[in-house]
Amino acid sequence: MPPAVLTVLAAPEWQARTVAHEARIDRWAVPHRERRTRGESHPVHDFLFTYYSETPGRLRRWHPGAGTALAPSPDGPAPQAGWRWYRTDDGGTVALDLAGYLADRGPTVRFVHELLAATAGRPVFAGCFGLHEWAMVYRADERRHALPLRLGPAGTDAVVESHPIRCSHYDAFRFFTPEAVGRNRLQPTRESQTATEQPGCLHATMDLYKWAYKLGPAVPGELLADCFALAADVRELDMRASPYDLRDHGYPAVAIETAEGKAEYAAAQRGFAHRGAELRRRLVDVCETLTLA
């Protein structure tokens, strides 16, 4: 049987938290929608809505999370009553239907739990210097972004050839050019993902947002938004340290080909890993709550 609901939120509280969540997400969602209306793109922020599959509309939906219920308002049950995987009792209180949710999402919960717990148990490695982005354009005639290369094609290739590459993240590695694949000291695969991801990796940190929305309504809205905000910050460093020239978009380069740039990158990477550790722990707690249901 599912565990008893631990907390019931009165209507004024869940209404206030809903409004706060929507306003927080709109910081990114509204500009993205406005750009789409104008037919424009953003080389940094659009990634959060194109590479990741959660839509702005779903992202704006606030969820109380597993173990929290919503008391009815004078107007009736909370809007979550009409959403997937929620149930409403005879008194109008709405909560996640754990049995129904786990019947559909149990394998996802178990995978995310295993991956995040394994990643959390490894030391932070901060010596990759964002070279995954450079390996994605190494000796390539075409680029993933319509942006100039800061050092030009020859200068970019020279950086790749003069640095060891140690990318542990499969979803970055799979975009390496064929010529760059053999230069990576690791050869991560989808099957080895749980065994290879490490908490210092920028993409593993950004992916905390993906795992938060993959867990869907079991994750409190505040945790989802925290993961999204971290992903947005990490994405900026990811692109600033890339071979692309983003100065016209207001992003100064982190020149990882220099000693100063490497130090700046590694320091920022450790800071993001620290922030990510707390969010990863909170997501693991959600998974453990669910697996005990």
Residue indicated by tokens 């640095």: 163
Q: What is the dihedral of CA 226, 228, 176, 199, to 10 degrees?
A: 10
**What tens digit of pLDDT does each residue of 264-292 get?**
999 999 999 999 999 999 999 999 999 87
Residue 144 confidence class, pLDDT cut points 50, 70, 90: confident
CB-count burial class (<10 Å; 0-12, 13-18, 19+) for 289: middle
- Angle CA 73–74–80, to nearest 5: 35
Question: pTM surpassing 0.85?
Answer: yes
User: How many whole angstroms separate alpha carbon 277 and alpha carbon 273?
Assistant: 6
Cα dist from 96 to 111, 142, 214, 280, 281, whole Å? 20, 47, 15, 22, 21
**What tens digit of pLDDT does each residue of 69-84 get?**
999 999 999 999 999 9
Mean pLDDT of 129-143: 92
**What tens digit of pLDDT does each residue of 153-193 get?**
999 999 999 999 999 999 999 999 999 999 999 999 999 99
**165, β-bridge pairs:** 184
